[in-house]
Amino acid sequence: MYIRISPLEVLEQKLYDIRFKIRGKITPPPYVAIIAIDDKSLKKIGRWPWSRDKMAELTEILFSSGAKVIAFDILFAEPEKNDIAFAKAIKKAGNIILPIVFRFDEKTSLIDEDFLYPSSISVVKNVSALNTFPPYKAIGLLTCRKELSSSAKALGHINMIPDDDGTLRWEAMIIEYDLDIYPSIDLQIARVYQGLDNKGISLNATESIKLGDKILPTDIYGRVPIYYYGPEETFPYISVSDLFENKGNPDFLKGKIALVGVTALGIYDLRVTPFSANMPGVEKHANVITSLLEGRTIVKLPFITNLIILMSTGIILSIILSRLKAVSGAIVSFSLLFFLCFIGYYLLIEKGLWMNLSYPLINIFALSTAINVYQYAEEELKAKRIRAMFSSYVTEKIVNELTKNPDMAKLGGDRREVTVLFSDIKGFTSFSEKHVPEEVVSILNEYLTAMTEIIFKWEGTLDKFVGDEIVAFWGAPLPQKNHAELATRCALNMVEKLKELQKKWINEGKTPLDAGIGLNTGEVLVGNIGAEGKKMDYTVIGDNVNLGARIEALTRKYDVNILITEFTLEKIKSFIRPKNGQIIGHVIVKGLEKVFVKGKEKPVRVYEVKSLEPNIESRIIELND
């Protein structure tokens, strides 16, 4: 379930995240410890889920260690033979809080059990406002087994409802179900930790929640922004296996909240937060609970306050920019942008006030841009657009030529003979599955950067990256008579560079990557293709482009690095066998096979291209018909 927001609000969310990242990690007060069912625990105790007698044993250990509150971020919904033993341990501890999960997509039978209702919020003020601005309203519910839930001290929901971009910024403090209001597990934990009874939580609908003597301002849906203390592992973790083996300080948990959750790789629920994309859900609970107990709150500034900031900055900037030249106006605009960003950061981090930055920043940027753009001639604007459009495709030399002839960047294109290059990493899917995402991204970025530099070195046009695949071509946007030669030289250079990288990766203890490269020459449609004024890509399309892609795929069949078609070979023969010396270095072109490819009625000859030692003469081994 989401609350839909505007694109500018999405930008504001990102600016909100940046403010937290700039602040960085801070040390939370020692209220909470995370009891992690991690990889080490699974290795020593066994695969998940564990038997409930193990959970009973864990409960007894946590209770005997002096934990003031014990909460499970695990839903024990399925029956198990040791439920009674676990229930007894929960009852004996007397400080256990168990989760419930609400459903918004699927209706379930109403659970009218005596163990559920006592966990609802009994004190609700301003009830009529719930009809106008209702909180999240569930239609279904999942709970732990009845014998477990009825033995618990309290129940609280563990629903995490991210924003549209998947980032978890808000805590749904309340959810309505069957006309009752139920608090989050974090709110329940904070209540029990402070020794408050069920009436210790009261709701002033659409405005605030009172926890003991603390008042927590909420939005109209009963949500509060989550105060994050840092990325994952900001809070102390204790492995369950260490508890079972009686390792560590026996008094560490005394008087604290013990949050039990699964964090083992492949099992735990990753949450995207303003700090990172892989925070375990149980640590999100730790952030919320700690901020509740510490009294840290974040409150969004009222609409009228944000509107005044927006209008005043816009009026002041318009008056100033209309009297300044472009350079001076740009300095003033950036100064005002920086000042607003500083104020927004200060208010959030130091005062807990969330000031909307997106609207005034966009307003300042739009005003300054409009006024400055007006001062330039139309031809200058065209040249800038061309430079911005092609700077990521081609070398600066070609960009300079294009700015002299901006009509070449019009929508559509023309037919031209080019040589296309497709390069793809072999076995990349398997590599990705065997390595952590950070390592995959690091080595892929290193590889793509090196290959891109080589493409630009040989005056190629970088079309696109498709995952680990590289697409480039020669012969456009500027004509190149020797496009096939340049593409072949580039492919040989790419293989040479790849071998250097492979040695480097092996020395660093990394798994080396290998790649296949396919070249084809022929007529294609080339130009800016897309929606004019919206999204355009300078690219090539046509059968000869598709053939290049299919030839690259055959490098795996023949276990080679470079394959070219007969059409490319025809263009480079004169460079391999020139009358006066060799132009392409010491290479061998070896015919492999005639292959039938999709979209072609006749088979296509494919050839391997491979570098030779400097003292060996270049040669072509033709394919016999």
Inter-axis angle of helices 358-374 and 326-351, nearest 10: 180
Q: What is the DSSP string of 271-285?
A: EB-SS-S-EEHHHHH
Point out the least confidently predicted range of 126-140, 569-583, 599-613: 569-583
* Banded pLDDT at 563 (limits 50, 70, 90): very high
Q: Residue 211: helix, strand or coil by DSSP?
A: strand
The Cα 551–Cα 556 span in angstroms is: 10
Q: With 60 as the cut, is the pLDDT of residue 2 above it?
A: no
Q: pLDDT category, 390, cuts 50, 70, 90?
A: low
Q: Do residues 100 and 158 lie in contact, with contact meaning Cβ atoms separated by under 8 Å?
A: yes
Question: What is the tens place of the pLDDT at every residue in 297-324?
Answer: 999 999 999 999 989 888 888 888 777 7
Residue 580 — pLDDT band, cuts 50, 70, 90? very low
CA–CA dist 389, 397 (Å, integer)? 14
Give the pLDDT score at 4.
Answer: 61
Looking at the chain, how many residues does it have?
A: 625
- Amino acid letter at 375? Q
Using DSSP bridges, classify how beta strands 515-531 and 412-425 pair: parallel, antiparallel or unpaired. antiparallel
Residue 582 has a pLDDT of 46
Mean pLDDT value of segment 224-232? 95
Residue-averaged pLDDT of the chain:
86
Residue 217 pLDDT greater than 80, yes or no: yes
SS3 101: strand
Q: Residue 520 belongs to what H/E stretch? A: strand 515-531
Lowest average pLDDT, out of 25-39, 84-98, 540-554, goes to: 540-554
**Contact call for residues 88 and 116 (beta carbons, < 8 A):** no
pLDDT band at 325 (very low <50, low <70, confident <90, very high): confident
Can you tell me the distance from the alpha carbon of 461 to that of 477, in angstroms, rounded to the nearest whole number? Answer: 8
> What is the structure's pLDDT at 584?
59
Dist CA 287 CA 184 (whole Å): 13
Over residues 430-458, the mean pLDDT reads 89
Is residue 523 a contact partner of residue 416, using CB atoms and an 8 Å limit? yes
Residue 97 clears pLDDT 90, i.e. is over it: yes
Of 371-385, 447-461, 555-569, which range is least confident? 371-385
Per-residue model confidence as pLDDT tens digits over 365-387: 888 887 777 655 545 555 565 55
- State the Cα–Cα distance between residues 19 and 361, nearest whole angstrom: 15
Rounded CA gap, 384 and 275, in Å? 36
Residue 411 has pLDDT above 60, yes or no: no
Q: Is the pTM of this model over 0.75?
A: no
Distance CA 210, CA 213 (A): 7
The tokens for 177 are 């179900």
Q: Where are the domains of the chain?
A: 27-294, 301-374, 410-621
pLDDT value of residue 258: 97
For CA atoms 27, 29, 30, 31, the dihedral sign is: negative
Mean pLDDT of 216-244: 94
Specify whether the CB–CB gap between 418 and 473 falls below 8 A: yes
Cα–Cα distance between 623 and 606 in angstroms, integer? 9
How are beta strands 96-103 and 69-72 bridged, if at all?
Answer: parallel
pLDDT at 193 over 90: yes
Q: How far apart are CA 597 and CA 528, in angstroms?
A: 28
Instruction: Give DSSP secondary structure letters for 534-600.
Output: TEEEEEEESHHHHHHHHHHHTHHHHT-SEEEEHHHHHHHHHHHS-SSS-SS-SEEEEEEEEE--TT-
DSSP 3-state of 483: helix
Residue 114 DSSP label: T
The CATH architecture annotation of domain 410-621 reads 2-Layer Sandwich (3.30)
The DSSP 8-state label assigned to residue 51 in this structure reads: P
Selected residue with higher pLDDT from 36 and 477: 36
**Measured in whole angstroms, how far is the alpha carbon of residue 361 from the centre of its chain?**
24
Strand-pair category, 562-565 with 515-531:
parallel
Reported as a single tens digit per residue, the pLDDT across 584-594 is: 567 888 988 88
Tokens of 319: 């008056």
- Per the model's pLDDT, the better-predicted residue between 579 and 55 turns out to be 55
What ranges in 264-325 are assigned the alpha helix state H? 281-294, 303-321
Q: What is the mean pLDDT of residues 526-533?
A: 73
pLDDT exceeds 90 at position 433: no
Least confident residue range of 121-130, 203-212, 491-500: 121-130
Q: Which residue has the higher pLDDT, 414 or 139?
A: 139
Bigger pLDDT: 450 or 391? 450
Find which of 409-418, 461-470, 535-544 is predicted with most confidence, using mean pLDDT: 461-470
Count Cβ atoms within 10 A of the Cβ of residue 579 and give its class: 0-12 exposed, 13-18 middle, 19 or more buried.
Answer: exposed
In which band, very low, low, confident or very high, does the pLDDT at 479 lie, cut at 50, 70 and 90? confident
